[in-house]
Structure 1
Amino acid sequence: MENINSFITLAAANGVPLDTLVLVLILPIIVTMIAFFRQVIGIKAFGIYTPAIITFAFLATNEIKYGITIFVTVILVGTITRYLLKKARLLYLPRVAIMITIVGFSILFLLFIGGTWNRTGLASVSIFPILIMITLVEKFITVQIEKGNRAAIILSLETLFISVIGYYIASWPQLIKMILSYPWMSLLTIPINIFLGKWTGLRLSEYLRFRQIIKPK
């Protein structure tokens, strides 16, 4: 790759994987994008950490469709399992442990099906993205308990939406080339976040929600 920054070249020459450098430099862009969606658009998702880590989990899968499949499976199985365990009146941690176990076996079955149907991309998904998305179960359960099923499902869909956008941003070849040539560009996210941190205007979702009220007469 041409025009790589000298610092990046030096780091790579000293054994730091180029993919790691790219991901670390793109991380500020991804979390800034998530902050923008939260502060300006009004899409909450599961905070800032969860969409960011799921974005990188998607990058670690062979194709994003397999990442989405695993994500949806985790949410569906987690919801069904929680409903089945509801009458058991178990304490929180043992209940989460059971759910993670069942979700884990569900993913194992999904990978088996992928291999059976010659979906080698699905069958060969590494453990890293699988573990990340399985841990989503605990976050999902917490929101279900605190805010109900509807809120948990909406936040899950918002998280999926943001993570998919983050995936395409992080895998955009032109952005990767630019980051490797000008790694300091990631620091530009700091003033952007300062601006977002002082944002006091209505979010886009609020405009849509209250458009009849704020509509000028």
Structure 2
Amino acid sequence: SPEALVLLLLLPLLATIIALARYLFGVRGFGIFTPIMLSVAFLIAGLESGFFMFLIILGVATLTRLSIRQFKIHYLSRMAFLIWFVSLVALGGLVWFKVPIFSLLILILLAESFVEAQIGKRLSEVVKMTIEALVLSVGGALFLSFQPLRLFAISQPEILVFATLALNITVGRFSGLRLTEYRRFKKLLGK
């Protein structure tokens, strides 16, 4: 289908843009996979519905993690319980919010990444990474839905493929300071 073709052509470019955000601005946002998957989920569900459903799933996953912490069970069993409980709550998303099942499944499965980060990192770091991932994901969903770009992907796929490759190589060879580091080391740099 044309929709699948457009997504397949634009996903590598979105991944490159997310990498660029990491190297130029220091935006971590749970790597590349999570923001891309959230972008696709937001695109399919609609930005508002997908974003709201993500916040609900993230909140339920966090509360579930905190409540089952007292039970001394293995990590994978805890994650399975968490996905079970989040899935039950997400059933309401199908009924109340009319969120498509595919995007709902993506959101449920990504809940594990966010909960895993909560276990191993400080709360302030997790909140910052979550906000960064959401900003990247909302931007990614807007990028994937940008009609002139979608038309360009269909009409000129070879240009898009090679431009993405060139941009990715350029980003991959970047060895300078991030913009946030320029601000951080302003006095040392003498600017």
TM-score above 0.5, yes or no: yes
Q: Look up the match of 1:188.
A: 163
Which runs of structure 2 are paired with 1:128-207 in the superposition (5 Å)? 128-184=102-158, 185-207=160-182
TM-score, length-normalised on structure 2? Answer: 0.92
**The residue matched to 2:69 in structure 1 has which SS?**
helix
Q: How many pairs does the alignment contain?
A: 190
Q: Look up the match of 1:106.
A: 89
How far off its partner does 1:211 sit?
A: 4.3
How far off its partner does 1:212 sit?
A: 5.0
Which runs of structure 2 are paired with 1:1-217 in the superposition (5 Å)? 17-61=1-45, 63-112=46-95, 114=96, 122-123=97-98, 125-184=99-158, 185-208=160-183, 210-214=184-188, 216=190
8 Å CA contact 2:94, 2:101 repeated in 1: no
TM-score, length-normalised on structure 1? Answer: 0.82
How far off its partner does 1:191 sit?
A: 1.7
**The residue matched to 1:135 in structure 2 has which SS?**
helix
> Pairwise CA RMSD of aligned residues?
1.6
**The residue matched to 1:87 in structure 2 has which SS?**
coil
Letter in 2 for 1:150: S
Alpha-carbon distance in structure 2 between the residues aligned to 1:164 and 1:109: 23
Alpha-carbon distance in structure 1 between the residues aligned to 2:179 and 2:94: 39
Q: Which runs of 5+ in 2 are unaligned?
A: none
Alpha-carbon distance in structure 2 between the residues aligned to 1:90 and 1:152: 23
Letter in 2 for 1:203: R
Greater than 3 Å deviation, 4+ residue runs: 211-215
Cα shift readout 1:58-115 (whole Å, capped 9, x = no counterpart):
1111x21001011111211111111111121221011011111111122223444x3x
Larger Rg: 1
How far off its partner does 1:135 sit?
A: 0.7
Letter in 1 for 2:40: F
Alpha-carbon distance in structure 2 between the residues aligned to 1:158 and 1:84: 26
How far off its partner does 1:149 sit?
A: 2.9
How far off its partner does 1:187 sit?
A: 2.3
Q: Which runs of 5+ in 1 are unaligned?
A: 1-16, 115-121
